[in-house]
Structure 1
């Protein structure tokens, strides 16, 4: 596998030639620019989404590329809740960045989920590198190549370990202001549920997700008898109000 520089000179010279770009990729080049160029040449929305996903994996810090990928997912499935939530988070943080004051200090950059799993002893660094390599060479036919899901499929972690790592990651993102506080954090902070209950409900959410069953946090809290439907709705309204209050402070 060869990692291409950005910008890639080959793609710059052949960006309108689909055959040349495909040949470039088939030769084993890990090339963000090639996948990005291909996304503009294909006509099928699913193929465009797949190309943008591959490009985004190769450039995880490119926010504009991530936005394009999420929008491509929503163009195929407007009900894709994960894509819509992530897109909303990015747009919200861009708004928040416009209202930062000099009193905000630079926070440590939040860790990636794989690094967190290594730090808590769930996997080894070697296992992480092996799965990252699998992610980069993954088939376009596999729609979910998130690190957590790949580790679950390999049996290297349990849903409980992934849930714990996701909670840590969200806490780090909130402290660093790279993502707004999520509902689960709000529920713990305001005494609706305990940290242990949040971990349990996220574990169940991940377990069901592996079976192709999609449940929201609120639905599972009711299903697992942690909160009533009325309590979930009341907490959700409080959370929504607290969230938007940030913009009027």
Structure 2
């Protein structure tokens, strides 16, 4: 169970009230409402802090991107290649979220961008409070792009606004074509989808046409990038997109 959002507890509660008798009248289901109310309150508090984060970032003309994927989809490898290619061109910063260890932060450090790790210690997502606490330390003067690498999870991170400009859905070809249909909340909320590991298309037996069709079914306006951080395929288009975002933010008054 996630200690922060209680998603595991909600899943069990959903089924616990069905299929049994109420003849004795000795208990109620008020606990179900209490769980919903607590979660609603937590999300409301998170949204308030997210709005503060967003104002802080906008005042400094920083574009924040929230990377969400399942574990192993290639977020860190994509960020490694992205930072290497943007180094000396656009100043970037990274917040890396994980349940345990600072392995991702260590992989991303030394690439010309300040990096901070958030260890959630059990929680399956980042939240606006944790992110807001370290924003001043990581998003220093001159930073134009802030990459937030969320905890590997396709469900819980979607509900928690961090103050980002957009969510980026990351999907690798080895995960198959049906992820957008199985996890529509992420692909509905995301503005951009990055399909990774396309150098493994043939080995994975990935059906490109079906995957793109599934994404468009959930989010018809989704902007889609197909990349291999290993070989560099598709990376130029991705980098141009990021440069455009940074330029647009700098041009605003």
TM bracket, shorter-chain basis = under 0.3
If each structure's strand is expressed as a fraction of its own residues, which one has the higher value? 2
Higher RCO (CA 8 Å, separation ≥ 6 residues): 2
If each structure's helix is expressed as a fraction of its own residues, which one has the higher value? 1
Q: Give TM-score, length-normalised by structure 1.
A: 0.24
